[in-house]
Structure 1
Amino acid sequence: MKDLFGKAILDYQLGNYTEDIKTETSISEEDDLPLPYLFRGYDEMPAIEKRAMDLSKGRVLDVGCGAGSHSLYLQNEKHLDVLSIDISEGAVKASGMRGLKNVRLQNVMELEGEKFDTILLLMNGAGMCGRLKKISAFLLKLKTLLNEGGQVLMDSSDIVYMFDRDDDGGYWIPTDMDYYGEVDYYVRYKGEEEPPIDWMYIDYDTLANAAQANGFNSELILEGDHYDYLARLTTA
């Protein structure tokens, strides 16, 4: 991986901001992801992220911390003990430069021997398991990292609206798709392109069913303006 996300985040942190990240999926056209948005404060966060910040408690694991904006708020404003992890070396470096006290280059699936009261998976954090067939292993891993009474706060979107409707009002989903929320995700930055990664948007009902099958209770905390939502998972 070229770590284009990390390169872009580090560029912004170092004052070398000249262009935004470009993203595209197998079912959507290219779009810009403005770098300043990754450095937003609490007041600039959407309602779903603000609610997640408000609900966070105890020792927190921020999975896929990116530029560290959520972790910095929890560390500096709520004075929580936060471990921030990401698989992007550039993001980890930039987050440390921004003042995160405990940030680590780490894949959550390989994290061992630590427990948390809150696990955060924001900016479609539920999608990082890539494919629906991997959701059970992903959720079971998160369970091993939770203290008794702990919670997982994750957001995602139901992207069924992106598909055409038939005359009966149903959605026309291609038959070669295992699950309509699975996409190939492309990132481009400054003339370079990453190989596509497996990514997933998971609707709440599918997440809730997977959660129940793997020993979690699920709660729909908040729905956003565009098919997005915040869910809380707790151990059953």
Structure 2
Amino acid sequence: MFQKDLYGNILKDLYRGGSDLQVWLHNHYGEAEDYPMHMFFRDEQAMPEAETIALDLCKGKVLDVGAGSGNHALVLQNRGFEVTAVDVSAGACEVMESRGVKDVRCLDVMDFTGERFDTLLLMMNGIGFCGYIDDLKLFLAKADDLLNVDGQILFDSSDVAYLYEDLDRTAEPYYGETDYQYEYRGQKGEWFSWLYIDEWTMRRVAKECGWDLQVVYQNLDDNYLGRLTRI
């Protein structure tokens, strides 16, 4: 039987002082990976360049989507931004509140209503929650309702073509659509779908949905930071 919100339980244990917790991340393309959960508790100085650039690009009222332990929300909050942090994990939301994030909402961003923002922030491949290209299109439609007229979406993602031999990039399903499962202390969480999307596929999908992609940072590992604005 799968453990509900195992991800949130891991974050709570880490927040309570666990520093050597071993977490395995299972996938469908290779061996399970020893996952470095400590990166969910980093200060700004320890964040990768893509994340610090994204924080500098934030403007106005910010919605931190899939906010996790609240790293980015806390940095922005300390800079004086009005930040709302949203996550589906009750455990993650509990940690954020304990760390001092002022406005935490425990819900799916697709169910978020009644407010508009100037920036949607999705770090640590947060846009991956879409899981599939078709659901990414649904999210981009939802983002149109969540953003003010001159609003922006800031996200980072990666081209994971390197994971596959003899890859046919035109084949379906899209190679960046994958599934993961956490394992911690003998318990396994539910499998969840996750999307890694390369720059060119994102550019095409975004255009189809009425958005323009600007790549503002890219490193040698095919990771990039993107900014989406309405066409």
Do both proteins adopt the same fold according to a TM-score greater than 0.5, normalized to the shorter chain?
yes
Query: Shift of residue 173 of structure 1?
Result: 6.3
* 2:127–2:156 contact (8 Å) kept in structure 1: yes
Aligned to 1:135: 136
- Give the counterpart letter for 1:220 in structure 2: V
Gapped regions of structure 1 (runs ≥ 5): 166-170
* Residue 103 of structure 1: aligned partner: 104
Aligned pair count reads: 229
What are the superposed Cα offsets for residues 122-153 of structure 1, whole Å, 9 maximum, x if unpaired? 11112111111222111100111001111100
1:205 match: 200
- Please give the alpha-carbon distance, in whole angstroms, between the structure 2 residues aligned to 1:41 and 1:20: 21
Cα separation, 2, equivalents of 1:38 and 1:161 = 25
CA distance in 1, matches of 2:30, 2:72: 27
Deviations 1:135-187 (A, max 9, x none): 2111100111001111100111101111114xxxxx35696x41111111111
For normalisation by structure 2, the TM-score amounts to 0.94
Name the counterpart of 2:37.
35
Gaps of 5+ in 2: none
Change (3 A) 1:85 1:136: same
Partner in structure 2 of residue 94 of structure 1 = 95
CA contact (8 A) 1:40 1:69 kept: yes
Aligned-residue RMSD, C-alpha: 1.6
- The 5-angstrom pairing of residues 171-182 of structure 1 reads 171-172=167-168, 177-182=172-177
The question of 1:155 aligning with 2:163 is answered no
> Runs (4+) of structure 1 moved beyond 6 Å?
none
Normalising by structure 1, report the TM-score. Answer: 0.92
* Higher alpha-carbon deviation: 210-219 or 9-18: 9-18
Q: CA deviation at 1:32?
A: 2.0
